[in-house]
Amino acid sequence: MLGVPHRVRAPCPAHTAAHQGHRGLDHLAPAVLAGIAAVELTSVLRHGDPGGSLLTLAAMTVVAGIAYRFGNLSLTVVAALAAVVVIDLLVV
């Protein structure tokens, strides 16, 4: 580290960077879930099937209700994945 200029070194201590990394992981599952929901909604809505669109919107409403009511990330993820699987089996 003696030969490395100061501006090339990490801008924060290692223990702070590790803590920031762990905080970032807390947001990873909701971001992936939002991405899956967005892809599913876009896919079903593009087909132009009104029944599939209503089913998808209803499923996402139920998932949002579960997330709001219980505040449990694991339960919300399981509900969203179940909704995606059911919609894929019934609609697509």
The predicted structure's pLDDT at residue 54 = 83
Say if residues 38 and 70 touch (Cβ distance below 8 Å).
no
Q: Is 26 among the domain residues?
A: no
The predicted structure's pLDDT at residue 85 = 84
Residue 44, domain extent: 37-92
pTM of the model: 0.59
Compute the C-alpha angle 47/53/56, nearest 5°. 120
Write out the chain's pLDDT in tens, 92 residues.
555 555 555 555 655 656 666 666 676 777 777 777 777 777 777 777 787 778 888 888 898 899 899 988 888 888 888 888 887 787 66
Domain count, the chain: 1
Q: Is 75 among the domain residues?
A: yes
Say if residues 56 and 64 touch (Cβ distance below 8 Å).
no
The predicted structure's pLDDT at residue 65 = 92
Nearest CA-CA partner of 55 in 91, 24, 82, 79 = 91
